[in-house]
A and B are shown apart, each in its own frame.
Chain A
């Protein structure tokens, strides 16, 4: 396997071909905020939080889906990027109905973490207050579309790890939302194995265990890591 050498924020890095800029940055200890990326499942570049500047390219590129190339020069933290990231997070907040004070994920939420990371203290955009629903028809779990940021981690974890493919995205643009089955109530979807991986994958409080109250959602990310290692390396240790 050939190795590529590149510079991220001035740091020299050597990494195998086919790795992403995000992989390379993590290896070099350079933090890049992410939301839709989840270790172990494929990347789709949905959230645009991981945007970086690459020398020679006029466009900003998402680190999670951009492959490393020989001699690449990457900047991860320019004032322009900082501004874009903050704006992205503000837009996420104003797009849905995120009421942290009463959310099951309060204090354990990646959207909150990212907001802190990018220094967002308020949203400069008008809140849309969309009219979205809550589906608690499943015996054990519920999905609150008000808190969904459409990262599709649930879609991918269910498809790629569990192999059940319960989740999909319906509609387009601002009307997009996550559906279970063929847009059935979750409780009526036979394909669901009630494994709970989507609960652990969801970065916000959108998918939760029923009965959880404010701040009670603590996800077991180690479980997903375990499954991924088991599949990829055939090692069953936790």
Chain B
């Protein structure tokens, strides 16, 4: 009799989810599905609001990466005003996003994922978390927490608060960085570099040794990658154009503008998940599977553009023996992106513009539609608004990073379940691996279902006759 295993809720991701594992008659895994069971309706309740409020409203979608929404909303607002933001404002917005990338990646690595790597997949689940990490390696845990705090403080210094700082506005930002703020950032940079280098060294050693299998089965499959790149094809997180590359490293499409996203991105819907399934239109659904986020950004760019990060990028590619296609490399990519972010923050600290007071362009409603894009820590984020003559929102569409990765997340858990699940028995360590497959993407389900709901893990094992044969809940 065929069976299904369901993991519900999935832990240590941001939001709530359920995993179903389908078994055939022989008890081997046939398929696995990642269900997002949240529904929130943000797009609906933005309707009728002034577009200038969108940054404030959409930032509330997420307490982990509100900055990404602040940026995408402000960039969409720029387009409605039809203004070019002052150079100082662009640099300040970049600075905030770099702070965001640093804090979010540090959270993902140190707080959420490293307990698995460092304490072991089969270790006691009660201790396999950041507190367990503090008990076993207090120095590393402390350094990780301080690195995240560094990123958070960069955001706070700019926006006057750590989360939901409504500091970006259509046309620019509200205020520059203070001199004291600049000094604080400068002082904390060396320590932050030290921490990320420590983590990179540790992680390289792990994938070369204990974690070789994970690299092979945690989402190792060909797919497209999408991300923003700069004018010269360099790593980008705020502006530039969109590029798709394949698993051989060839460019599939380049110089795409966010304005045309409906032409190259389709959104499929499956009745078992609230999360939509975007795909690359020219290849159709589901062949148009692509990944976004840290791994994708490192795969689509020619180079990063700063010294230490470029050195790490080269080593990253060498280690993978070509294009890194395993989703387990997301963790590695995150650490390299922290290096890149810190280097770019360092450069910005010497830029006189970041303390300039010319930071906000004004204008009226000059365009009735706008599409804005930015790279959130988890991947490309689109905001698309239509407004009336007076700037009241008529329609909103948000495409969130976790959505882009939906197809890939499903493929990843299927691959892991095939490797580690045999029959209806559910071993704790196995469940944890399946979840960890999801965690590679550092998914943020509050964001992705912005579109109401509950994320602790629920796994169900379902037989071929569709009957539930085993299930586990974990809160």
User: Which residues of A does B touch, CB under 8 Å?
Assistant: 101-102, 104, 133-137, 139, 142, 144, 187, 210-216
Of the candidates B60, B169, B391, B392, the one whose C-beta lies within 8 Å of that of A213 is: B169
B400 lies within 8 A of chain A by Cβ:
no
Contacts of B55 in A (CB 8 A): 213-214
State whether B164 touches A101 (Cβ < 8 A).
Answer: yes
Contacts of B169 in A (CB 8 A): 211, 213
State whether B53 touches A213 (Cβ < 8 A).
Answer: yes
State whether A102 touches B56 (Cβ < 8 A).
Answer: yes
State whether B390 touches A102 (Cβ < 8 A).
Answer: no
Closest chain B residue, CB of each to CB of A185:
B390
Of the candidates B166, B170, B171, B390, the one whose C-beta lies within 8 Å of that of A136 is: B390
- Bound complex: CA A104 to CA B57 (Å): 11
- Bound complex: CA A203 to CA B439 (Å): 47
Contacts of A142 in B (CB 8 A): 50
B181 CB to closest chain A CB (Å) equals: 19
B residues 336-365 in Cβ contact with A at 8 Å: 362, 364
Contacts of B391 in A (CB 8 A): 136, 210
Contacts of A212 in B (CB 8 A): 52
- Bound complex: CA A214 to CA B390 (Å): 19
Given contacts A102-B60, A136-B392, whether A213 and B164 have CB atoms under 8 Å apart is: no
Question: A133-B48, A134-B49 known; 7 other A-B pairs, CB under 8 Å?
Answer: A102-B53, A135-B390, A142-B50, A213-B166, A213-B174, A214-B166, A216-B166
Q: How large is the interface on B (under 10, 10 to 19, 20 to 34, 35 or more residues)?
A: 20 to 34
Given contacts A101-B164, A102-B60, whether A214 and B50 have CB atoms under 8 Å apart is: no
Given contacts A101-B60, A211-B169, whether A134 and B48 have CB atoms under 8 Å apart is: yes
Closest chain A residue, CB of each to CB of B166:
A214
- Bound complex: CA A194 to CA B97 (Å): 38
State whether A214 touches B392 (Cβ < 8 A).
Answer: no
Closest chain B residue, CB of each to CB of A186:
B390
State whether A211 touches B362 (Cβ < 8 A).
Answer: yes
- Bound complex: CA A136 to CA B391 (Å): 7
- Bound complex: CA A210 to CA B169 (Å): 12
- Bound complex: CA A137 to CA B164 (Å): 28
Mask, B413-455, CB within 8 Å of A = 1, is 0000000000000000000000000000000000000000000
Contacts of A133 in B (CB 8 A): 48
Contacts of B53 in A (CB 8 A): 102, 104, 213-214
Contacts of B57 in A (CB 8 A): 102
Of the candidates B50, B56, B60, B174, the one whose C-beta lies within 8 Å of that of A134 is: B50
- Bound complex: CA A140 to CA B53 (Å): 16
State whether A210 touches B52 (Cβ < 8 A).
Answer: yes
- Bound complex: CA A101 to CA B52 (Å): 14
Contacts of A102 in B (CB 8 A): 53, 56-57, 60, 166
B residues 158-177 in Cβ contact with A at 8 Å: 164, 166, 169-171, 174
Mask, B386-399, CB within 8 Å of A = 1, is 00001110000000
The 5 tightest CB contacts between A and B, nearest first, are A214-B166, A214-B56, A102-B56, A136-B390, A102-B57
- Bound complex: CA A135 to CA B48 (Å): 10
A143 CB to closest chain B CB (Å) equals: 11
Mask, B42-74, CB within 8 Å of A = 1, is 000000111011011100100000000000000
- Bound complex: CA A142 to CA B49 (Å): 11
Contacts of B166 in A (CB 8 A): 102, 213-216
State whether B50 touches A101 (Cβ < 8 A).
Answer: no
- Bound complex: CA A213 to CA B360 (Å): 13
Closest chain A residue, CB of each to CB of B387:
A136
Mask, B129-157, CB within 8 Å of A = 1, is 00000000000000000000000000000
Given contacts A215-B166, A216-B174, whether A210 and B60 have CB atoms under 8 Å apart is: no
- Bound complex: CA A137 to CA B392 (Å): 10
- Bound complex: CA A139 to CA B164 (Å): 29
State whether A137 touches B56 (Cβ < 8 A).
Answer: no
State whether A136 touches B50 (Cβ < 8 A).
Answer: yes
Given contacts A142-B50, A210-B50, A214-B53, whether A134 and B170 have CB atoms under 8 Å apart is: no
Closest chain B residue, CB of each to CB of A142:
B50
Contacts of B49 in A (CB 8 A): 134
- Bound complex: CA A187 to CA B391 (Å): 13
- Bound complex: CA A61 to CA B174 (Å): 45
- Bound complex: CA A159 to CA B362 (Å): 31
Contacts of A144 in B (CB 8 A): 50
Among A102, A133, A210, chain B packs the most CB atoms within 10 A around the CB of A102
24 A–B contacts, CB within 8 A, in A order: A101-B56, A102-B53, A102-B56, A102-B60, A134-B48, A134-B49, A134-B50, A134-B392, A136-B50, A136-B392, A139-B364, A142-B50, A144-B50, A187-B390, A210-B50, A210-B391, A211-B362, A212-B52, A213-B55, A213-B166, A213-B174, A214-B53, A214-B166, A215-B166
A2 CB to closest chain B CB (Å) equals: 53
Contacts of B60 in A (CB 8 A): 101-102
- Bound complex: CA A214 to CA B170 (Å): 12
B residues 361-395 in Cβ contact with A at 8 Å: 362, 364, 390-392
A19 CB to closest chain B CB (Å) equals: 42
State whether A211 touches B392 (Cβ < 8 A).
Answer: no
A40 CB to closest chain B CB (Å) equals: 30
B residues 294-310 in Cβ contact with A at 8 Å: none
A73 CB to closest chain B CB (Å) equals: 47
Of the candidates A137, A187, A211, A215, the one whose C-beta lies within 8 Å of that of B52 is: A211
Contacts of B392 in A (CB 8 A): 134, 136
Contacts of A101 in B (CB 8 A): 56, 60, 164
Contacts of B164 in A (CB 8 A): 101
Contacts of B50 in A (CB 8 A): 134, 136, 142, 144, 210
Closest chain A residue, CB of each to CB of B160:
A215
Contacts of B48 in A (CB 8 A): 133-134
